[in-house]
Amino acid sequence: MPLLSHYATRLLIALLAGASATLAFAPYSLWPFAFIAPLLLLLLLHKQTIKKSTWLGFVWGLGYFGAGVSWVHVSIDNFGGMPVAASLFLMIGLISYLALYPMLFSFLLQRIFSNHKLTKYLLAAPALWLVTDWLRGWVFTGFPWLWLGYSQIDSPLSAWGPIFGVEGITLMILISVGAMVYSLLEKKWTLFLIPAIIIASSFAIKPFDWVTPQPDKVTKVALIQGNVNQAIKWLPSERWPTIMKYMD
C-alpha cells in the first residue's frame, strides 16, 4: 500500500511548489521559479474536481505565503514582544487568510472553465490570477506583497516595468505559464513560441529610455532612516534619544 494516496501526493507537491515560488524573490532572485510554481499548480489542477482543485489552490497558497511572509513573525515576536504562542497563532491566521486567494483562483478557474480549451489557459487563468491578486491587495486594506511581477527585477521582463508595472509583468508571466501548460497537456509545442516571443520582445525594448531628464526642473530630496537598534526601539526610555538623533 503506498504511503500517500494520489491526491495526497498532489497536495504535497502543491505545498512545495507554492513555497518554491519565493525563491524567485530576493535574496535568492531565482526568477524562473515565478514561472515554475504557477505552472505546477495549473498542472496539478488538470482533470481534478472543483472541490479537489479548491483545496490544491489553498495548499499551494499555504506554501507560498508560509515561506514568503515568515518575516512578519520576526516583527511580532522578536520586536513586538508578543508571546510566542500568540505570534504563531497570528502568523497561521495571516497565512491561511492569504491562501484563500489562490484557493479562490483555483475554484473559479475549475468552476467556470471546466473544459481544457486554449482560452482557459491563455485568457481565463491569467485574468483570474490578476483579479485575485488585486483583491488580495485591496480587501481589508490589502496585503499586496509577493506579486509575482516583483520577482522579475533581474529578469528580461523587467524591461516592461516602466510601461505596464508589476501588474503587467505578472500578467505576462501567467500568459507564458498558460501557454506552456496547454502545450504540455495537448502536446502542441508551437505554443512555446508565446513565452519565447515575450522574452525576446523584452530584450528588444530594453535599450529604450522611458524617462526624459529635465535639468531645469531639479528637485533635491533627502531620505533619512535612523540607525536605531530594533531591540530597544520601542522602549519608553529610548523615545527622546531617538527623537534627538533625528533632530540632529
pLDDT 10s digits, 41-79 = 999 999 999 999 999 999 999 999 999 998 887 777 766
**How far, in Å, CA of 175 to CA of 51, rounded?**
25
| Cell matching residue 159 | 524591461
The answer for 146, left when phi > 0, alpha when psi is -120 to 50, beta otherwise, is left
pTM: 0.87
The rounded distance, in Å, linking the Cα atoms of 243 and 236 is 12
72 Cβ contact partners less than 8 Å away, ≥ 6 residues apart: 91, 94
Sign (positive/negative) of CA torsion 28, 29, 30, 31? positive
Return mean pLDDT, the chain. 91
How confident is the model at residue 1, as a pLDDT? 41
Query: For residue range 187-238, what is the model confidence (pLDDT) as tens digits?
Result: 999 999 999 999 999 999 999 888 887 778 888 888 888 888 877 887 889 9
Distance CA 75, CA 23 (A): 21
Give the residue-averaged pLDDT of 155-179.
97
User: What would the grid cell of residue 242 be?
Assistant: 531617538
Residue 88 and residue 41 in contact, taking contact as beta carbons nearer than 8 Å: no
Per-residue pLDDT at 227: 84
What is the per-residue pLDDT for 202?
95
Half-sphere exposure of 199 (CA within 13 A, CB side): 13
Three-state secondary structure call for residue 55: helix
pLDDT at 11: 97
Least Cα distance to 64 among 29, 90, 33 occurs for 33
